[in-house]
Amino acid sequence: MGFGNLRNWDVRTKAIFSDGVPETSNSPHVVCFGELLIDFVPTVNGLSLAEAPAFKKAPGGAPANVAVGIARLGGSSAFIGKVGDDEFGYMLADILKQNNVNNQGLLFDPHARTALAFVTLRSDGEREFMFYRNLSADMLLEEKELDLDLIWKAKIFHHGSISLITEPCKTAHIAAAKAAKDAGVLVSYDPNLRLPLWSSAEDARDGILSIWETADVIKVQMAVGITKDFSGRVGGLKVSAVDTTGAGDAFVAGVLSQLATDFSLLQDEGRLREALKFANVCGALTVTERGAIPALPTRQQVLDALTNVVA
């Protein structure tokens, strides 16, 4: 599992907490912005898309995975994005609702379809993607359609990089992140590189780095936690991987679900290490089933598995 930088925690803590006690609010604690789509996952690993005999339909999209992951762990989350005014779009909206994710920021576009992704699973569970999203509804979210009230009242705003690729969603994305930053909301960022969706590797690098400095928490692909005061690695859970889709999102959900309840854990290396172990287990359990959202664990499942974490 990966973890990156935790920066500016002192500023964010002052903005959201008073004397170390979280403010009470009925608003979702974590608002996730970005894509919500259908992953078609092959029923047999190690085959190409053409060779796969069948596919399992699984809801996904990195920011949506995080929102559901937080809710499964007992946290409070919301999702902001757009899907098509079609069967898949309404199915995804229902899945958010069934998983106790606030979906009032989810819109339906009558002129574009819900995004799809076909996933190739290698024999070790790692993936390759083929996307059908040109133009899909998630790419068409406009700034004027943003539910800013959800963002302003959140404790954490989480976003990725996919919605930075194409207008008008790019402008909406930047505006949403700015609204969060201006409101004193902690900003969490998952670069989530998907090179086939960008016009070039250079554009991907420039786009991903364009908002890097605005983030307080960044997830990157290395098993290490870094703050301005300390860094180190934490243990994980040994599992047999079936499908790695959503593992990183489950890890992020594990971190943010704990961070949303008490920002002060960033000041305590011991507590932060425990939080990262918890998040590692979230990711590990997710790879044992096919699909992202269907595989995300509950809090009790994580607690039960924590006893098997290796040093």
Which pLDDT score is estimated for 307? 85
pLDDT along the chain (311 residues), means of 10: 43 30 64 95 84 90 97 97 97 97 97 92 73 92 97 97 94 97 96 83 89 88 67 82 88 96 88 92 93 92 87 60
What confidence score (pLDDT) does residue 194 get?
Answer: 82
Contact 285, 239 (CB under 8 A): yes
Is the Cβ–Cβ distance between 217 and 255 less than 8 Å? yes
Q: How far apart are CA 11 and CA 263, in angstroms?
A: 11
CA 63 remoteness from chain centre:
4
Q: Where are the domains of the chain?
A: 30-310
What pLDDT does residue 68 have? 98
User: E-assigned strands of 143-216?
Assistant: 156-159, 186-189
Whether 260 and 29 have beta carbons less than 8 Å apart is answered as: yes
Quick one: pLDDT at residue 22? 37
Q: 41 near 291, Cβ under 8 Å? A: yes
Fill in the DSSP letter of residue 21.
E
Which CATH code is given to the segment(s) 30-310?
3.40.1190.20
| Angle CA 274–295–39, to nearest 5 | 125
